[in-house]
């Protein structure tokens, strides 16, 4: 069974055939590793082979930290167990492989996506801990302000138009998309999602996995899906003109769509769609709310201290100091603990929409940008300043996130 069939909902057969006395205790150690990592809110775990040992690291709050080590012999046994559990080929160690399995303990369950990749010191194994539908937060928990949420709710309750989220890789766009879906009455609406990969499982909607190797591309699936006449559809990402056009056209005929796009700012979403060659009138009539998102690390509350900031541009904003974590056992000596989203929400006004519509006849980017800025509730940077003033994060982290774009 490969990753895609596992993610499409078939329950993996966990009847493990551990065939040596070494393997059962080794599996217990692995399970302990995984649960410990999950308790530390790790999103993934990496087994990195070195010449004489394996280094195990976990990613917490977006940053890798060391977790444990094992001998090369132990790692050979662990790899075999992980491959067996993930229904991968245990004899294959030269080619990349992908799969997954679930851990269950008491009432807890965690789905994991597994990747093996050959390196010069042997196969590396990466484990991604997938969030479960039950752990959905609401938009305020994610870090949206109440005013931003009201704006999004107004758009969603009109059941027409779209929400597009931009941001760098790993900025929490998928989590936000699925959290926004929670604002729709799922039981009385036909909701379909097309994702690559399906990371967050939601049993109340129809989730479809892109499988390019058998021709199930975003485009193909989207065309076929429109025949099902969904009230709401979620597209994991808009990558090409065809997909963008179908989605925009669908919004004109009473379907609501939510998607993400890889651009640096909300304004860049408009530019990207224009660059793709989507007709301006189509953009103007189908776009409703544009969101830009970043994930910011929160200063550890156990070891933070106030440090003065003598930066004139910050002082002008009324920021004269910020909190910096010295590092303690609570934050694994990083100075940070936990993360939250920072958002910019723009609801397009009629004036801006008119300008977009007329863009091919009278292209004036400066005027469009001015009008767009008026539609923006609070700019992203201003929301970072607010979090610094509140002591949630600090200037160093804000700089990293404001400049980060991968
Ligand atoms: Zn600390």
Assess whether 163 and 212 both reside in one domain: yes
> Rounded CA gap, 233 and 242, in Å?
16
> What is the band of 197 on the pLDDT scale with cuts at 50, 70, 90?
confident
On the question of pLDDT at 136 being above 90, the answer is: no
User: So what's the pLDDT on residue 359?
Assistant: 87
> What is the band of 268 on the pLDDT scale with cuts at 50, 70, 90?
very high
CA 329 to centroid of ligand 1, rounded, Å: 6
CA angle, 209 then 206 then 202, to 5°: 90
CA 80 to centroid of ligand 1, rounded, Å: 37
Non-local CB neighbours of 302 within 8 Å, separated by 6+ positions:
328, 330, 331, 337
Assess whether 275 and 203 both reside in one domain: yes
Kindly state the average pLDDT of the residues 139-164: 94
Assess whether 109 and 189 both reside in one domain: no
Non-local CB neighbours of 3 within 8 Å, separated by 6+ positions:
98, 99, 100, 113, 114, 197
CA 304 to centroid of ligand 1, rounded, Å: 7
Assess whether 92 and 163 both reside in one domain: no
User: So what's the pLDDT on residue 1?
Assistant: 37
Mean of per-residue pLDDT scores for the chain: 90
Assess whether 62 and 106 both reside in one domain: yes
124: number of CA atoms within 13 Å, CB side? 13
Query: What number of residues does the chain have?
Result: 406
On the question of pLDDT at 9 being above 90, the answer is: no
* Digit-coded pLDDT (tens) for 22-76: 788 899 999 999 999 999 989 999 999 999 999 999 999 989 999 999 999 999 9
The number of domains in the chain is: 2
Name the residue among 299, 200, 286, 201 with its Cα closest to residue 238: 286
Kindly state the average pLDDT of the residues 342-352: 96
Q: Which of 130, 159, 182 is the last residue of a domain?
A: 130
Name the residue among 154, 36, 27 with its Cα closest to residue 78: 27
Kindly state the average pLDDT of the residues 367-380: 94
Asked if omega into 197 is within 30° of 0 (cis), the reply is yes
* Digit-coded pLDDT (tens) for 271-306: 999 999 999 999 999 999 999 999 999 999 999 999
Alpha-carbon torsion 145, 260, 195, 279, what sign?
A: positive
CATH code, domain carrying 112: 3.30.450.90
Name the residue among 206, 225, 155 with its Cα closest to residue 183: 155
* Digit-coded pLDDT (tens) for 239-256: 999 999 999 999 999 999
CA 332 to centroid of ligand 1, rounded, Å: 7
Domain that holds residue 108: 3-130
On the question of pLDDT at 360 being above 90, the answer is: no
First to last CA, the chain: 32
CA 399 to centroid of ligand 1, rounded, Å: 20
Q: Which two tokens stand for residue 254?
A: 């009473």
Kindly state the average pLDDT of the residues 258-271: 95
Q: What percent of the chain has pLDDT over 70?
A: 93
Q: Which of 104, 130, 156 is the last residue of a domain?
A: 130
Assess whether 212 and 284 both reside in one domain: yes
Q: Give yes or no for a contact between 387 and 398, defined as CB atoms under 8 angstroms apart.
A: yes
User: So what's the pLDDT on residue 345?
Assistant: 97
> What is the band of 201 on the pLDDT scale with cuts at 50, 70, 90?
confident
- The DSSP letter of residue 142 is H
Assess whether 125 and 149 both reside in one domain: no
CATH code, domain carrying 380: 3.40.50.300
Assess whether 79 and 165 both reside in one domain: no
Q: Which two tokens stand for residue 136?
A: 């959905």
Assess whether 112 and 156 both reside in one domain: no
Assess whether 139 and 124 both reside in one domain: no
CA 35 to centroid of ligand 1, rounded, Å: 22
Q: Which of 66, 101, 130 is the last residue of a domain?
A: 130
CA 299 to centroid of ligand 1, rounded, Å: 8
CA 138 to centroid of ligand 1, rounded, Å: 27
On the question of pLDDT at 112 being above 90, the answer is: yes
Non-local CB neighbours of 59 within 8 Å, separated by 6+ positions:
42, 43, 44, 45, 46, 65
User: So what's the pLDDT on residue 133?
Assistant: 54
User: So what's the pLDDT on residue 108?
Assistant: 82
> Rounded CA gap, 372 and 375, in Å?
5
CA 324 to centroid of ligand 1, rounded, Å: 9
Assess whether 151 and 292 both reside in one domain: yes
CA 317 to centroid of ligand 1, rounded, Å: 27
- Tokens 């090369």 belong to 72
> What is the band of 8 on the pLDDT scale with cuts at 50, 70, 90?
very low
Phi-psi region of 365 (alpha: psi -120 to 50; beta: other; left: phi over 0): alpha
User: So what's the pLDDT on residue 14?
Assistant: 42
Assess whether 71 and 171 both reside in one domain: no
């Amino acid at each position: 069974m490969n990753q895609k069939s596992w993610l499409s909902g078939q329950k993996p057969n966990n009847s493990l055939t551990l065939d040596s006395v070494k393997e059962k205790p080794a599996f217990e150690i692995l399970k302990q590793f995984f649960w410990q990592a999950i308790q530390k809110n790790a999103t993934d775990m990496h087994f990195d082979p070195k010449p004489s040992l394996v280094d195990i690291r976990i990613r917490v709050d977006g940053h890798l930290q060391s977790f444990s080590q094992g001998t090369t012999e132990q790692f050979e046994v662990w790899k075999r167990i992980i491959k067996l559990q993930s229904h991968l080929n245990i004899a294959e160690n030269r080619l990349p492989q992908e799969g997954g399995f679930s851990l269950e303990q008491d009432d807890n369950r965690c789905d994991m996506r597994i990747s093996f990749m050959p390196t010069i010191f042997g196969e590396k194994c990466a484990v991604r801990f997938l969030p479960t539908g039950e752990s959905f937060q609401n938009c305020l928990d994610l870090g949206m302000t109440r005013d931003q949420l009201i704006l999004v709710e107004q758009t969603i309750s009109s059941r027409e138009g779209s929400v597009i989220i931009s941001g760098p890789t790993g900025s929490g766009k998928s989590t936000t998309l699925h959290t926004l879906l929670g604002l729709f009455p799922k039981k009385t609406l036909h909701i379909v999602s097309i994702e690559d990969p399906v990371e967050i499982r939601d049993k109340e909607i129809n989730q479809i996995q892109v499988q390019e190797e058998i021709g199930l591309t975003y485009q193909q699936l989207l065309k076929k899906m429109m025949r099902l006449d969904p009230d709401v559809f979620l597209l994991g990402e808009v990558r090409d003109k065809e997909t963008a056009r179908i989605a925009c056209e669908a919004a004109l005929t009473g379907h609501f769509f939510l998607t993400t796009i890889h651009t640096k700012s909300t304004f860049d979403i408009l530019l990207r769609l224009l660059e793709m060659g989507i007709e301006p009138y189509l953009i103007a009539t189908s776009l409703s709310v544009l969101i830009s998102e970043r994930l910011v690390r929160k200063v550890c509350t156990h070891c933070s201290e106030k440090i003065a900031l003598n930066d004139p541009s910050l002082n002008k904003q009324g920021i004269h100091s910020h909190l910096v974590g010295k590092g303690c056992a609570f934050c694994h000596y990083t100075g940070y603990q936990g993360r939250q989203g920072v958002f910019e929400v723009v609801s397009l006004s009629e004036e801006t929409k008119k300008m977009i519509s007329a863009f091919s006849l009278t292209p004036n980017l400066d005027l469009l940008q001015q009008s767009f800025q008026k539609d923006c509730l609070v700019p992203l940077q201003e929301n970072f300043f607010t979090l610094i003033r509140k002591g949630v994060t600090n200037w160093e982290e804000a700089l990293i996130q404001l400049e980060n774009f991968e």
